[in-house]
Chain A
Amino acid sequence: MKFTSSKFKISTPPKAYMIYFISPDSWDIFCVFNVRKQHLLFHCTDKNTDFPQKVNTSSLTGNNYKCSSDWLLNQGKCYWFSTSFKTWKESQHDCEKLQAHLLVIHDLKELIFIQNTIKPGHLGWIGLHITSEGNLWTWIDEHFLDPQLFLVIGPTDEKSCAIMTGSQVYSEDCNSRFNGICQKDTV
């Protein structure tokens, strides 16, 4: 794209620069050049379409995310869906043997990824259970479940553990037998 004119506005201290372009077909494009950690970040916004385009943002170099075979890779984490039916505790134990733990989810993006991965008719234990204090759904990393993320369908008694299908999360008896979903960081 060729620009007929441009205006530069330099802020002090000189860490971010805003550039205003007017293109031949009179598009207005604002770009913010941000100098951070030896990378130039270019964020351009076309005023007419309000469509933010990221131009040449710094690349994620040196991150060769990898999972062992049979594990699914998503956003820097590895996931494994067990095929044996075990109690919640046994499933957690099986994950630990693989240097992993039962699935812990703190953001919507990850929840959507997992639920899109679980096929109809499949389900798996996740690392969420009712602890003896206060009958609250608690993740195995000791965070409480954020009710904004999802609600668990079913009772909240002391022997309840959570299980996930492609659409919802449910309460089941921790001593019932289901598959488990293991999670670990990439190597």
Chain B
Amino acid sequence: MACSGDWIEAEKKCFYFSLDTRNWSASKSFCSSHGSELAQIDTQNDLEFLKNHTGTSSHWIGLSSEEGNPWKWTNGTIFNSWFEIKGNGSFTFLNANGVHSSRGFVDIKWICSKPKYL
């Protein structure tokens, strides 16, 4: 089964790139109400694919951390720090420049991800 409608196929996942802008938690709610999660990035290929697609616009991804706790994906998995997160915030976003962190309030675009085969 390929990815449907507005979703873009990449290896084992389907990605949705928003046109609209929202804060981190509203973006997270959007993805979960569409049977997906804020983008989870598992491979170098995924990361490169997403960076190429976002260009200079910033997009929320599903990596966050509560004060003093490790970075976690929205499904609770602990992030093993295989890529660098720049900045001092608790919510992450991505663009061609890399992965950065923010306080989560800013209205930017977002990316949802879901497995290709369900």
Interface residues of B in 82-118 (CB under 8 A from A): 86-89, 95, 97-98, 100-103, 105-109
B105 and A176 contact, CB distance less than 8 A: no
Asked if A20 lies at the interface with its beta carbon under 8 angstroms from chain B, I say no
Per the CB 8 Å criterion, the residue count for chain B at the interface is 24
B58–A175 CB distance below 8 A: no
B47 CB to closest chain A CB (Å) equals 17
A110-131 residues at the B interface, CB under 8 angstroms: 119-123
Binary per-residue interface labels of chain A (81-108) against chain B in the complex, 1 for a CB within 8 Å, 0 otherwise:
0011100000000000000000000000
In the complex, are the beta carbons of A122 and B100 less than 8 A apart? no
Is there contact, CB below 8 Å, between B109 and A176? no
Question: CA A121 – CA B86 in complex, angstroms?
Answer: 18
User: What separation, in Å, do the CA atoms of A39 and B88 have in the docked complex?
Assistant: 57
By beta carbon, the residue of chain B nearest A159 is B88
Interface assignment of B74: CB less than 8 Å from any CB of chain A = no
| In the complex, chain A residues whose CB is within 8 Å of the CB of B88 | 173, 175-176
Tell whether, in the assembled complex, residue A123 and residue B108 are in contact, meaning their CB atoms are under 8 Å apart: yes
- Are A165 and B103 closer than 8 Å at their CB atoms? no
Q: Does B21 lie within 8 Å of A120, measured CB to CB? A: yes
A119 vs B108: C-alpha distance in the bound complex, in angstroms?
10
Chain B positions within 8 Å of A156 at CB level: none
**Smallest distance from the beta carbon of B30 to chain A beta carbons, Å?**
15
B59 contacts A by Cβ under 8 Å? yes
Q: Is the CB of A172 within 8 A of B57?
A: no
Q: Which residues of A contact B107 (CB under 8 A)?
A: 165-168
Whether B1 sits at the interface, judged by CB under 8 Å, is no
Structural contact, A121 and B59, CB atoms closer than 8 A: yes
Q: A170-B106, A173-B88 are in contact. Are A119 and B101 (CB under 8 A)?
A: no
Q: Closest B-chain residue to A175, C-beta based?
A: B88
A165 touches B108 (CB 8 A): yes
Whether A172 lies near B103 (C-beta < 8 A) is yes
How many pairs of A and B residues are in contact by the CB < 8 Å rule?
72
B19 touches A177 (CB 8 A): no
Q: How far is the CA of A153 from the CA of B26 in the complex (A)?
A: 15
> Shortest distance in angstroms between A157's beta carbon and chain B's nearest beta carbon?
11
Contact of B108 among A121, A155, A173, A177 (CB under 8 A): A121
A119 to chain B: closest residue by CB: B57
**Contact partners of B59 in chain A: CB under 8 A:** 121
Specify which chain A residues have a CB less than 8 angstroms from the CB of B98 in the assembled complex.
85
Pair B109/A85 contact, Cβ less than 8 Å: no
Give the distance in Å from the alpha carbon of A154 to the alpha carbon of B98 in the complex. 24
Residues of B within 8 A of A177 (CB): 86-87, 100
Q: With A121-B21, A123-B58 given, is the CB distance from A155 to B106 under 8 Å?
A: no
Residues of A within 8 A of B (CB): 83-85, 119-123, 153-155, 163, 165-168, 170-173, 175-178
Can you list 5 residue pairs at the A/B interface with Cβ under 8 Å?
A83-B56, A121-B54, A122-B58, A171-B103, A177-B86
